[in-house]
Amino acid sequence: MSKIRTAIFGGSFDPIHNGHIALARAVRDRGLADEVWFLITPLNPHKQGKQLTDENLRLQMAQLALAGEEALTASDFEFSLPRPSYTINTLDALEKAYPGREFLLLMGADNWYKIDKWYKSEEILARFGIIVYPRDGEEVPPLPPQARWLDSPLYDISSTEIRNAARTGADMSQWLHPDVQALINQENLYK
């Protein structure tokens, strides 16, 4: 029996926004993977020192945003791993925990260009499929055979912009699932 192909979309998701969701839908709808797991990063090795919202709240926001989305799931898998968990360690642990699945790594073209700086990047490339998506309108980078290009829509939004806007009281609800916006209001986040 062939394995379920699960794309891993790691990020802070502080908060999850419509750009993230559109990207994951594109992975699913274009058949690059059977499902997408949003792995909420408790502490990102590349963003050390950055103040993050409590991980359980970030998880809750992702769960709310993805509740009606087929094959898109919020995951707390990294919460129980030693921190910070480098990508190869997370993929290793996922493989052990879910033998019925084949994991693919979803990453932006900006990160793809820096992959040689990642911890054990050669091993990642040797063992896992990669799906690369455009960031900032970059051209398709040269890709090895195990990497696929996702020609996905670009949404000009980031979580940083949403947090900054929330601080000034600006309305960012067009970028957020209504239940996520409601939780942000209720918990008084990003003030």
Contact residues: ligand ATP, CB under 6 A: 11-14, 19-20, 23, 108, 135, 155, 157-160
For residues 129 and 159, which CB has a smaller minimum distance to ligand ATP in the complex?
159
Tell me how far the alpha carbon of residue 55 is from its chain's centroid. Answer: 14
Q: How far is the CB of 100 from ligand ATP (least distance, A)?
A: 26
Q: How far is the CB of 20 from ligand ATP (least distance, A)?
A: 5
Q: How far is the CB of 150 from ligand ATP (least distance, A)?
A: 10
Q: Are 65 and 181 in contact (CB under 8 A)?
A: no
Q: What is the DSSP letter of 44?
A: -
Q: How far is the CB of 19 from ligand ATP (least distance, A)?
A: 2
For residues 2 and 54, which CB has a smaller minimum distance to ligand ATP in the complex?
54
Residues near 78 by beta carbon (within 8 Å), at least 6 away in sequence: 10, 39, 40, 41, 42, 85, 90
For residues 92 and 163, which CB has a smaller minimum distance to ligand ATP in the complex?
163
Distance CA(12)–CA(47), nearest Å, equals: 9
What letter represents residue 91's amino acid? L
For residues 84 and 108, which CB has a smaller minimum distance to ligand ATP in the complex?
108
Distance CA(43)–CA(47), nearest Å, equals: 7
